[in-house]
Amino acid sequence: MSTSEQRPLRILAADDSAVMRSILWKLFLLQKEGRSSELPRMDLCGIARDGVECLEQVKQLCPDVLVLDLEMPKLNGLEVLDRLRLENPDLPVIMCSAYTEHGARSTLEALARGASDYVTKPAGQRDFDAAMRSLSQQLLPRIAALAKNAGREKKKADRGASSDNSQNTKFEEIRSTASSTIEVVVIGLSTGGPSALEQLLPKLPKDFPVPVLIVQHMPKLFTGALAERLDKCCALRVEQAYDNAVIRAGTVWLAPGDAHMEIAPRRAMTNEEDTGAAGRSSRVRLHQQEPLNHCRPSVDYLFFSAARMYGAGTLALVMTGMGADGLNGARAVHEGGGVVLAQDEASSAVWGMPGRVSEAGIANATLPLWGIASALKQRVSEGRPGRSEVAARGASAIAPRREMTHGLL
């Protein structure tokens, strides 16, 4: 698909609510008239009232982006999405979800099935102006970003093996230039992030030796549901973070929506909490400071705190997402001697956040999604004894005790 500057982006919407259809029609009419000049012009080429009509209009109208409701008659949003992934797999789909626990879980399922992104429906749809503002801020930038990146599908196939080889070569440079033992992994992502996490985190073993902290741009109901979903498919424990939680290896902490997450030192510690060097003296700090980079939680807050707390022992990973959140924090990690990794363009839903880091020249490596887990395991294992070495040390410690026992006998 191409979206030239000579024509507006063609948007198809599917929603069974007459109120939502009216809001969407008015939103795109104003946008097309140039009220949002920083974005490409967009044309609402069709509005479907149910899932069957949506599939028919996709074939007839050939939209650049589909805005898809979850709850519809005849075929619901998930059923439409399943059909589209077979019939039109390259079409970017933005789910339109109610801000409820059920809506959150259904949205995460849609993202796992191939939806590109989501927006939450305005809470008060009868307040027309407020609903317009909410959707304008949420929906229009996502459409622009996804349409811009839709033309990369052919590039992904074309670059294939040569890109993979170059990324592997780049990662080898990390081993020769970085000397500090990694003590924490911090990750930041946005658009396309839930699906990427579902592919990355299950590849990390239960004995992954350092804690992992993640900022994913999502509302609180959604981050809680995402943590539960990830916990079910991962060997590591995945939890939504809470204030003052002890940071230790074996647990992945996901920042709750609408709260910044930082790593802070612990004031006191019991022997039971002394779980080794990685994460031994740190805790989670949540706070409600103003949004940073228009985001709360912000990746920058997490990365800056990791750089302060762990210095060169920090590994920061920036993955798929819109905007530039995480760029300044990644720069702080880089300047402190830590390792910075970025997801590559071909495997990102939107190469905004990782693209800014890669283009700034502060990434030690820019890697495809499928190769990130191996890179993390390899880099985190450096400077740590392997399993065989640990076993040998254990055997040597036990041997003198056996000799002593024989002597007593």
**pLDDT of res. 151:** 59
More confidently predicted of 163 and 16: 16
The residue among 88, 94, 93 whose CA lies nearest residue 118 is 94
- The pLDDT of residue 123 is above 80: no
pLDDT by residue (tens digit) across 221-255?
999 999 999 999 999 999 999 999 999 999 999 99
- Number of other CB atoms surrounding residue 120 within 10 Å: 21
DSSP-assigned states of every residue in 244-257:
TPBP-TTEEEEPPT
pTM listed for this prediction: 0.86
55 or 408: which leads in pLDDT = 55
Q: Which helix (H) or strand (E) holds 44?
A: strand 42-48
Domains of the chain: 9-151 (3.40.50.2300), 161-384 (3.40.50.180)
What is the number of other CB atoms lying within 10 angstroms of the CB of residue 15? 25
Task: Calculate the average pLDDT of the chain.
Answer: 85
pLDDT in tens, 247-260: 999 999 999 999 99
Banded model confidence at residue 398, pLDDT cuts 50, 70, 90: very low
What is the reported pLDDT for 266?
80
| Interval 287-314: pLDDT, tens | 999 999 999 999 999 999 999 999 999 9
Residue 57 has pLDDT above 70, yes or no: yes
pLDDT of residue 229: 97
> How much is the pLDDT for 267?
65
Active site residues: 190, 217, 325
Buried/exposed code over 138-169 (b: 16+ C-beta within 10 A; e: otherwise): bbbbbbbbbbbbbebeeeeeebeeebbeebee
pLDDT of residue 195: 96
Question: Is residue 381 classed as helix, strand or coil in its secondary structure?
Answer: helix
